[in-house]
Amino acid sequence: MNKNTHTRKRLIELDGVRAIAILMIIGSHLIYYLHLNPAGSENVLDTYLVLFGLGAFFFLSGFVLAYNHREFNAWSDVARFFKKRLFRIYPLYLVALAIAVCAFVLVPASHFSLSATGVVIYALGLQGLAGQYVPDFYMFWFVGVILLCYVTYPLLMRYARNPPQLLLTSVAIFALFLAMRLLFGIVDTRFFLYYFVFVSGVIMSTFCAERLLHQRKSFVGAAVALLSVLIFVHVALYSHQLPSDQNYVFAAGQFGLYAGITLFLVLTAMMLLFMPLLFDFAGRMISLRKLVPWLMLVSYSSYAIFLFNPLILAALSAILTQAHTFQLIRDALLIIVGVLASCVFAYAFQQVTDRTLQKMAFQ
């Protein structure tokens, strides 16, 4: 692998985008636990926080991978790539999964039903491939789906040297996974929802990075207009479903094949149109120098926040409920204490994990 791919300049804009995306995810987690919802817009708001927040993470994953790892000339390059990804993902993931299993599966009154086989599948990170054969368990489906995207990435970069080849290769991979889903019932359907967003990040990083990072204002207006139209269509037709549900896209198939395809295209277009707006907003936040250290901190901890925030909110919600706290005070404490505790705990845990891995690397 080209050694220069490991020493490229850090793009602070990506840290801003990542920080804003994880704050959107935290917002979606909070909505689940908050009692007060005066506007009655919980379902719609949660839909877009999840859709755009997770869409941003998949887009950034593809973008950052293509920015840092572009050449796969030998199997050793592939092995090195997966080793780095697995060490980045698994330590925090296994700790969060163990906490969740102990807190929500092993307790007698738990409303989660996860067999020993299911626990093993989740521990191995194979839930993205298992599809309908394992139930959803908190937010851990994301790890399985992003691992599937990582599996496809070396193939994309190995056999695609220009945008048309990259697009054709990604379509062929998509068709292969779709056939696996239709024939054997495996592969989480959310892989299909976010896969082309991931691929779009790869394409933008490889061929159009400068336009997205430095010329995004030239097409922000058009993106706002088109996104507004698509949101109106989506709210009118599909707002009763959430993209965090594994059956979200395929459930539209009950209204006919074209309904499912239309929903898939609308959601994908919405996420891609949101990206230049998110990058533009992140750029404005970064221009406020006093915010930069905080954005960097949140960005650095974003993966740990994603894993531990719902667990912390669930524990805090249970404590406040048992204490019979007034709803307004309870919600305020969930927002303030829950968010701060999640960020502080995640940052500390990320630091400990990184230092431990660094020590292991030097031994």
- Dump pLDDT digits (tens) for 205-230: 887 766 666 666 777 888 899 999 98
The Cα 56–Cα 100 span in angstroms is 25
Instruction: Report whether 209 contacts 60 (CB < 8 A).
Output: no
Q: Please name the residue that has the structure tokens 């909505």.
A: 31
Mean pLDDT for 149-154 is 94
Other Cβ atoms within 10 Å of 161 Cβ, number: 10
Instruction: Report whether 194 contacts 58 (CB < 8 A).
Output: yes
CA distances from 186 to 82, 115, 118, 181, 182 (A): 22, 18, 14, 5, 8
User: What's the length of the chain?
Assistant: 363
Q: Which of 122-126, 252-256, 258-262, 339-343 has the lowest mean pLDDT?
A: 252-256
Mean pLDDT for 232-260 is 55
Q: What is the 3-state secondary structure (H, E, C) of 90-104?
A: HHHHHHHHHHHHHHH
Cβ-based neighbours of 276, under 8 Å, separated by 6 or more? 212, 216, 219, 220, 223
Q: At what angle do helices 12-33 and 339-362 cross, to 10 degrees?
A: 130
Give tens-digit pLDDT for 72-119. Answer: 877 888 888 999 999 999 999 999 999 999 888 777 666 677 888 999
Confidence bin at 35 (pLDDT 50/70/90): confident
The Cα 246–Cα 119 span in angstroms is 18
Give tens-digit pLDDT for 263-293. Answer: 788 889 999 999 989 988 988 888 888 889 9
Nearest of 97, 155, 166, 167 to residue 125 by alpha carbon: 97
CA distances from 97 to 143, 277, 311 (A): 11, 34, 10
The answer to whether residue 127 scores a pLDDT higher than 50 is yes
**Mean pLDDT for all residues in the chain:** 83
What percent of the chain shows pLDDT beyond 70?
84
Q: Report the run of H or E that residue 223 belongs to, with start and end.
A: helix 220-238
